[in-house]
Structures are given as structure tokens and as C-alpha cells.
Chains A and B, each alone.
Chain A
Amino acid sequence: MALKQVYAPPEALFKVRSHYCPGCGHGVAHTLVAEAIDHFGLRGRAVGVAPAGCSVLLYKYFDTDTIESAHGRALAVATGLKRANPDLFVYSYQGDGDLASIGLCETMHACNRGERVTAVFINNAVYGMTGGQMAPTTLLGQRTTTSPAGRRREHEGPPLKMAEILATLDGVDYCERVALFDAKHVARARKAIFRAFESQIEGRGVGFVEVLSACVTNLKMKPVDAQRWVKDEMCSAFPLGVFKDARASKEGGSDAV
């Protein structure tokens, strides 16, 4: 019986060993972004903007042009790239400390301007690369190396809900929160990232996808337990779903009323 190929690694990823920890979500998220680059035929005009954090090493994996950015400034760098050359396809890839803490100002304003860029946001509720400190998205009660007694609402405030916040901005065309804890949700995440790519391809504005992902090492959990934690704990603090789809609401006839 002849073998039929049903899957191949995306062309936009180098065939290299990963430096990410076993169980980390970056590998899956990288693959989904690379599949979108392949699907839309963008490898030849794509530029990836890497953050400070574990995925600063984006260039080791993505076979597209890639550029580093200062901590939090990815969407400002992305703005510069896209404004200078609108023919480029510009995708940014940032963690929670990068996008939601130090870079919140750049994030909000790039989204408000409706930059024609695609923003992938990996929310794993900790600072991964620096060793598990409290992030802007750390859950209430979650212990980290800088919130050893657990995050307290009255002391650090509650976690920032970026998808909800950014969905309020007119410049954002598509905004969804997804998770990677099982195959069904990975498939949903893939679809969201593809849709966020279309926001840029169609010149509609920012396509934003928040990806709930497990930082196995800093959660100090086994990979399976970490996935369960994302499903049970993170998903109740950060509800999954589409927070904005400007194209669908337009097509759905809200303007026709």
C-alpha cells in the first residue's frame, strides 16, 4: 500500500532542534505561525519581529527575515518596518512581560493606529527567560519568584486581560484568545492565527491573537499537569473566544441597520 503524506513541517521553519523546554508552548505556536506564512505564500516578503524573552531566538526557527527588538518595543519596530515598506508582511511575536507590561504603551498605540501588522501574543503568566517572576498576566494567588505568597489583588492588582482591552480599539480588526492545551484548541489557534494574517493581507488593521501557553519549567509542573493548569486555571481567568471580528460584523450586516 502506497504511503500518503498527510503532514509536513512548514517550509517557513528551519529544520533544527528546539532550545525551548519540553512541554513549552512556543514550539506549537511557532509552527502555527509558520503554517500561516506558508499557507498565504508570504515567506518571501515576511519580516518577523522578535521580543526580549525566550522567543528572542525567533531567528533560529523562522526562515524569514527576522529582527530583534528592545524589550516591549516590538510593535513600534513593526510600525517602522511596515510604514517604511508596506509591501512587507510584518508579524510580531511577544510574551506577556514584553507586550503587556513594559511595552503596553507601544502595544496600545500600534493597535489604536490600526497598523497593518499581525501580533501574536504568548501569555504564559510568568516571565520565562528571567526565571519565573510575576508577569502582568500572573493569576491572582499564583506563586512566582517575585510573588512568593501569591499575587494579591490589593498589592499588585489583577492580571491584565489584553484581548479584552485591545478589542475596544478601533484599529484592531481581529482579536481572539486561544489556548494550546489539546489538539482541538491547537486547531482553533491555527484558525485564529490564519484569520489574524488576513487582517494584514486585506489591509484591515491589526490582527491580534493571544495564545494561552504553558511555561512548564517556571510553573514547576509536569507537562501534562501544566496543560491542565492552563485549561482549568488560566482559561477561567482569561476566557477563550473571539473578542472582535470587524470583518464579520460588517459582513453580518451591522452597517445595514
Chain B
Amino acid sequence: MTAKTQEKVLTQGNVAAAEGAIQAGLKCYFGYPITPQNQIPEYMSWRLPEVGGTFLQAESELASINMVLGAAATGVRAMTSSSGPGISLMQEGISFLAGMQLPAVIVDVMRCGPGLGGIKPTQGDYYQATRGGGHGDYRTLVLAPGNTQEMFDLTFHAFDLADKYRNPVIVFADAILGQTKEPVRLEPLHPPTQVDKPWAMTGANDRPSRNIRSMYLEGDDQEQLNYTLRDKYERATRDEQRHEVRWAEDADVVVVAFGTPARIALDAIREARAEGRRVGLFRPISLYPFPVDALGALSDRCKKMLVVEMNLGQMVDDVRAAVRHDVTVAFHGRPGGGVPTPDEILAKLKEL
């Protein structure tokens, strides 16, 4: 690493994600204003033209995601970002991206729901992000940053993943991650991965014409497409699980949390450790594929788990599915903009 790459700049999470995309070679951004992610399109509106890309504010999130689909089909790196109701509107296009096997990145900085909801931090859209979200038998790959640096790093990585699997990838953040400023290294640790795109819409000048579609009417072609998708998701489940563990070696109790609650939990865990309790942290970074292998192995060694989320209990289902033994999985959550405090988490740990 050069000295330059170690230089850190005070950067907001949304901007870090946007710059991560720029460094990944983003060519086209299409988006529509919605809080709490507006700094992404605002940054892109001047930054992307600087590097020869195209920024266009679309008339809606429906248009945004379908513009992303068109741009991605030409083989360039394309993305959008949104929140809550905007991500709901995009589900049509995300389903088409998955069915047409097109790579794209969607940064989802959540806001509360259901409905219009408020703009306080939440993680209420875990199911929507990790279960596919739109119609059809598909998944989106989901990466959950835990700090501002990871807003940059994981958005950068999301483009490599999208190209590798020809599938939409969601960078999944809460409003605290989107808004918090921290010192960030705004350069990637490696160059973006270049892949051939022998399916891209480039014009049939010196080759047979190509077609990209998701509808297959003949024979069992549609069923075969779904098996192709399944094979991809199985490959991703084998190769792309990501997580972080802290103090897990001797832990009787492990707190499982992603995003901002994982960071809050660290304070509670430090206090618990100071009181002599053997508590650790498991932070899923890939939410789909969920890090079942590491969490399953951890469940061999600990007695109890406490899942902390900013919702009424969504990831906890994946945790319960991943643990291998008779491990107690407790839950503490705050929905609708409520943020769990270290004291709440500590009290819950003492209850266990």
C-alpha cells in the first residue's frame, strides 16, 4: 500500500458509498431523490461526469431501475440508490435484472415503514432485501456495511460481485451509516475486476445478434433458467459469505448484529466483559448469502446468542436457521426509528 492510499478523508457514509462506486468504474447512475440517501445522487451529479460517466435524475424509481437495466445491458457498470418506498417501486426492475441476469448495484439506505414512514435509522427492510423482494424465485446478493469505510469498500466490492454473478447486488445501510462522517480511505485496495460480457448489447456488427430476456415460453426453458439462478446462488453461498467476529474465542454468549446495532453492541460487550461476562460479537457482512458456515461453527462453542436489530425481528430467523445445536437465540429489537442503546443490550445480556 502506498502512503497515498493510507491517507484518510473525513467523509459521510453516503458519499463514501458513491466514491466507492466511482472507483469501481461506475459509468451510469440513475436515481430519484429520497431521504436519507440524497447525498449519493447529489455527489454523483458532479463527480460522475468528472470521470466521463453519465448522471441522470430519473422521473421515478421505476424509471431509475429500468434505466439502470438498459445501461447494464450495454455492459457498463450501472447503479442506483434509494430508500423505503423507492426500493419498493424498484422491485419490478430488480426482479427483471435477476431474470435477465444483468449486473447492477443498488444502494439501499433504509428509512422506516411500513408506508411512507419516518427517516430515522431502521433495519425494517431486511426481509425485502434478502428474500429477493420482487416477484419470482430469485435472490439479490446483499452486503451490509458496519462503518463509513465499509460504505466505500463494500460498494466497490458490490460491482465485482454483480459482474461475477450477473445479478443485482444491494448495499444495505441504515440512516446512521448513510449520514455519519468518519475518516475514510477513499481508494480501493485493489483495482476493480474486469470481466468479459459476451452477452452485452453492443450491436450485432461482427457477430450474430443477441437477445436479453426473462420470459421463456417454450418447453421447460423457464424452469431451466430458475435452475441456472439456483446454481449461481449456491455458488455465492459457497464462496461469498462474509462476517466479522470479536471476542468470540471464549464467549459463552454471542451478540449477533449487523450495521449500526453491531457497533452499538460493542459498547455493551465491553461493559459486560469489564463485569467478567464472556460475551462476543458476530457481525454478518453478507446478509445474502448469510454467513451460515461461520455462525454454525460458532454455535458449536457458545451457549446463547442475542440477536440485536433495528426492527421487530427479521435476521433472527436466519440466525435460528444457522445455529446447529440447542443454542438459545434471544432477540432484542427496536422498530420504527428506535435505536437500541448499550444499556438496553447490557440489560438483555444480564437477563439471559
Contact = CB atoms under 8 A, between A and B. Distances in A.
Interface string B203-215: 1111001111111
A131 interface: no
A80 B209 contact: no
A65 B213 contact: no
A247 B205 CA distance: 30
| Residue of B27, B28, B62, B74 ringed by the most chain A CB atoms within 10 A | B74
A62 to B, nearest CB: 7
B70 interface: yes
A25 B188 CA distance: 54
Interface in A73-108: 73, 76-85, 87-89, 105-106, 108
B60 A105 contact: yes
Contacts of A49: 70
Interface residues of B, number: 38
A119 B325 CA distance: 60
A66 B210 CA distance: 6
Contact of B210 (A65, A68, A81): A65
A46 interface: yes
A44 B206 contact: yes
Nearest to B210: A65
Interface string B191-218: 0000000000111111001111111000
A59 interface: yes
Given A43-B204, A44-B206, A85-B76, A67 B63 contact: no
Contacts of B78: 80, 84
B259 to A, nearest CB: 30
A163 B100 CA distance: 32
Interface stretch (B51-59, B172-180, B230-238, B285-293): B51-59
B253 interface: no
A88 B27 contact: no
Contacts of A204: none
A94 to B, nearest CB: 13
B156 interface: no
Given A67-B212, A84-B54, A44 B63 contact: no
B204 A64 contact: yes
Contact of A73 (B56, B66, B100): B66
B59 A105 contact: yes
B203 A73 contact: no
B42 interface: no
Interface in A13-48: 43-47
A76 B66 contact: yes
15 contacts: A43-B204, A44-B205, A46-B204, A47-B73, A64-B203, A64-B204, A65-B202, A68-B212, A76-B67, A80-B68, A80-B74, A81-B201, A83-B67, A106-B66, A109-B58
The 3 closest A-B pairs by CB, nearest first: A80-B70, A44-B205, A45-B203
